[in-house]
Amino acid sequence: EVQLVETGGGLIQPGGSLRLSCAASGFTVSSNYMSWVRQAPGKGLEWVSVIYSGGSTYYADSVKGRFTISRDNSKNTLYLQMNSLRAEDTAVYYCATLNGGWFDPWGQGTLVTVSS
Amino acid sequence: QSVLTQPPSVSAAPGQKVTISCSGNTSNIGLHYVSWYQQLPQSAPKLLIYDNLRRPSGIPDRFSGSKSGTSVTLGITGLQSGDEADYYCGTWDINLKSVVFGGGTKLTVL
């Protein structure tokens, strides 16, 4: 069964750092385009970042320079390193596989709360 | 303000049909395929439609997608209470070099 499970969310103070993990099963992370999408409380979906199978990475302007997407092929796991966190980064963070031009499957999400 | 424009809400009675529009421009919908996602309350989004009109396996044919120019439409027939959810459209924007989503439409089955 194809599955994505995110972990690593929590409460963090503004300016702090957090690393999210997304463990995949049923397929190989490194052979796919993998992405992070977030959703602020009560708001819509916002694309955050993507890593291509070849290793190229891209970011939304809102997180460029602060967030880093990466993967560990040996662990079949996707990561999102988030630095210099701001209140507006508070959201549920989903990892998803980017197939062609669509996201499928999605993980269940992990909540990141940036607050003092 | 989302790049793609969706109505905030739509509603219809059980068994009826509803359509949800998603409007963009020539740098996004006009150039690229669009996908639709269903997000049930307290759940992760789920792929409903891809490549404008294709349904993944397991998605009933009550759900359909269409495209005309820089707009797409999601159609749902035979509405059921279980269809109450938020629906999002998404695509690539060549100018923004980013995936963009609509603001979401909340479907209420009366």
* Nearest residue in chain B measured CA to CA from A98: B99
- List pLDDT tens digits, range B5-15: 999 999 999 99
User: Are B67 and B53 within 8 A, CB to CB?
Assistant: yes
Residue B103: its chain A contacts at CB < 8 A?
Answer: 44
User: Are A94 and A107 within 8 A, CB to CB?
Assistant: yes
Q: Is the pLDDT of residue A74 over 90?
A: yes
- Residue B70's pLDDT is 97
Over chain B, what HEC string results? Answer: CCCEECCCEEEECCCCCEEEEEECCCCCCCCCCCEEEEECCCCCCEEEEECCCECCCCCCCCEEEEEECCEEEEEECCCCHHHCEEEEEEEEECCCCEEEEECCEEEEEC
Residue A50: its chain B contacts at CB < 8 A?
Answer: 99
Given a cut of 50, the residues of chain B with pLDDT beneath it are: none
Mean confidence (pLDDT) of chain A = 96
How many percent of chain A have pLDDT more than 90?
97
Mean pLDDT, rounded, for A34-41: 97
Flag if A44 and B2 touch (Cβ within 8 Å). Answer: yes
- Residue A10's pLDDT is 97
Task: Report the residue from A60, A101, A106 with minimal CB separation from B45.
Answer: A106
Is A94 at the interface with chain B, CB within 8 A?
yes
Residue A37: its chain B contacts at CB < 8 A?
Answer: 45, 99
Residue B84 to chain A, least CA–CA distance (Å): 16
Task: Report the residue from A44, A102, A107 with minimal CB separation from B35.
Answer: A102
Flag if A102 and B88 touch (Cβ within 8 Å). Answer: no
- Residue B1's pLDDT is 82
- Residue B14's pLDDT is 96
- Residue A101's pLDDT is 86
- Residue A100's pLDDT is 83
What is the rounded distance in angstroms from the CA atom of residue A110 to the CA atom of residue A13? 17
Contacting residues for A59 by C-beta, under 8 A, at least 6 apart: A48, A49, A67, A69
